[in-house]
Amino acid sequence: MIEIKSLKKTYRERTVLDIDKLVIDDGTILAVAGANGSGKSTLLRILACQLKATEGEIASPENSLYMPQQAYAFRGNLIDNITLSGADRETAKQLLEKLELSHLSEKKATSLSGGELQRLSLCRVLSRKAELLLLDEPTSACDVRGAELVVNAIKEYREENGCTVVMSTHAPALALKAADRMIILGNGKIEADGTPADIFNKPETDWAKSFTAGWKTDA
């Protein structure tokens, strides 16, 4: 279980994250939505211990894997990029196949397209075992097929490992297809919390209604 209490992140005078209480049950796939600058990456980075909270308490599994918003590649081919994290070649090949990157497996990883690179970054994360996956916008560079592959891979990993997943996204389809629960951040605060379908179809507040109205026209 993840338990967050009175969490704040402040830069100088400006509070960019302000979460009174958030409890995430084990095995949940939680989507974190919200406009640019609403605090999604800040929340994920704090959970990944990449960033220190200004105040508050967090109880969270130590064994977590984090995929940052900016995908990256090391030198070497795609297989090297996965085995570097400790996975064996067979696991690397299976993941590349699952994310439809097998045809590129011997290519230089630094020459991949944005969407390919993002799928490779996910392969690197999924090649290891963890109790908590923290994925910052895992489909932001993907086309429709790529996003579907990413969703399926995340769900399969959760089924196999029983882990919890916290992923930020701007994609309504990703939240609706993959997440059990969604929160929407507005200026660092939780403005909506529920199943993606409920938040999308029956938003409870005017704030959530106007946020999801924008989503409907995007979808």
Q: How far is the CB of 27 from ligand ATP (least distance, A)?
A: 25
Measured from the CB of residue 62, what is the shortest distance to Mg ion in angstroms?
23
- Residue 24 backbone dihedrals phi, psi, to 5 degrees: -120, 120
The secondary structure of residue 54, as a DSSP letter, is S
Query: Computed from CA positions of residues 129, 131, 134, 138, in that sequence, does the dihedral angle turn out positive or negative?
Result: positive
CB of 175 to Mg ion, least distance (A): 15
Contacting Mg ion within 69-88 (CB under 5 A): 69
Nearer to Mg ion, 40 or 93 (CB): 40
Span near Mg ion by CB under 5 A; candidates 21-29, 35-43, 54-62, 119-127: 35-43
Residue 146 binds which of ligand ATP, Mg ion, none (CB < 5-8 A, kind-dependent) = none
Alpha carbons 6 and 120: distance in angstroms, whole number: 36
Nearer to Mg ion by Cβ, of 98 and 215: the residue is 215
**Range 38-57, binding Mg ion (CB under 5 A):** 40-41
Quote the CA–CA distance of 38 and 169 in Å, as a whole number: 12
What residues have CB less than 8 Å from 94, skipping those under 6 apart? none
Residue with tokens 């969490």: 7
